[in-house]
Amino acid sequence: MAWIQTTSGIALPEPLMGSGNTTISTMVNSGRNASGKFVGQVVGEDKLKIEMSFEGLSSTEFRNLLKIWDRRQGGKFINTFTVYDPRIKGYTDIKMYVGDRQGRPVMVNNAGTGDPRYWQDIKVDLIQV
């Protein structure tokens, strides 16, 4: 099994060593009263965010990664992923939406199409719904 994959079996590439930063956020309708005391309340359940970086992918590999969320190509903004969740010390299925996706094109084919053959500094964030 891949470190992160959709429940339909699409595996994400292995992230860079040291990447895959996992954040657990607790949402609070925060506030303080006139005395400066915290009066906020926890709203909903904690949410998991995974920030992944990839050293480099071929143009095809990068396209296939982006296709997961590209609605024009049958992708979805929200997908269910099988991810490692440190809260339970195991893998679980979580509905997540994608944050910004980025990459830097290198090795551009100037003689033909002008398409990049390789992408570097790729980053993708997944955030629990």
Query: Could you report the per-residue pLDDT of 60-112, keeping only the tens digit for each?
Result: 999 999 999 999 999 999 999 999 999 999 999 999 999 999 999 998 877 77
Q: How far apart are CA 75 and CA 69, in angstroms?
A: 4
- Would you say the C-alpha torsion 91, 103, 21, 79 has a positive or negative sign? negative
Q: Which helix (H) or strand (E) holds 59?
A: helix 59-67
Q: What is the pTM of this model?
A: 0.84
Sign of the dihedral through C-alpha 83, 86, 92, 97: negative
- Find out whether 20 and 72 touch, Cβ atoms under 8 Å: no
- For the chain, the domains span 5-26+44-128
